[in-house]
């Protein structure tokens, strides 16, 4: 039960943060901002908090970051672009995926460099 509550509370915070980013960042960059920054954070969290309780890690990773980032919006944008231009949709999908993977790897490296808490 504690784990479900941790994910639920993290999800509430993450979705509110995403809504805040969408209110501040221009619409064309908001999705990139949440997905790439969220990927950086998930890598950092994985490195920095591996020794913390399962509930704390679930709050941060599955709850907060899982609801902050949004694969469904990425998929919707991708299909919208594919309808307009196959190449534009392909470049969008490949670049967003590559940027997110590089950000996660960078976050992991940064978290490991600074030591585990």
Q: What is the DSSP string of 22-60?
A: HHHS-HHHHHHHHHHHHHHHHHHHHHHSTTS-HHHHHII
Known binder of ligand: residue 69? yes
89 is in an annotated binding site: no
Q: How far is CA 52 from the centre of its chain?
A: 20
10 Å CB burial of residue 43 (0-12, 13-18, 19+) is: buried
How many of the other CB atoms lie within 10 Å of CB of 66? 19
Numbered residues of the known binding site: 66, 69
Numbered residues of the known binding site for Na(+): 66, 69
């Amino acid at each position: 039960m504690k784990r479900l509550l941790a994910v639920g509370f993290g999800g509430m915070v993450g979705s509110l943060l995403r809504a805040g980013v969408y209110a501040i960042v221009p619409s064309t960059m908001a999705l990139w901002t949440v997905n790439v920054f969220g990927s950086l954070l998930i890598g950092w969290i994985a490195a920095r908090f591996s020794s913390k309780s399962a509930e704390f890690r679930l709050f941060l990773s599955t709850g907060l970051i899982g609801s902050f980032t949004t694969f469904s919006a990425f998929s919707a944008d991708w299909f919208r672009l594919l309808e307009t231009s196959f190449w534009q949709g392909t470049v969008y999908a490949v670049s967003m995926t590559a940027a997110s993977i590089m950000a996660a790897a960078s976050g992991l490296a940064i978290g490991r460099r600074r030591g585990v808490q």
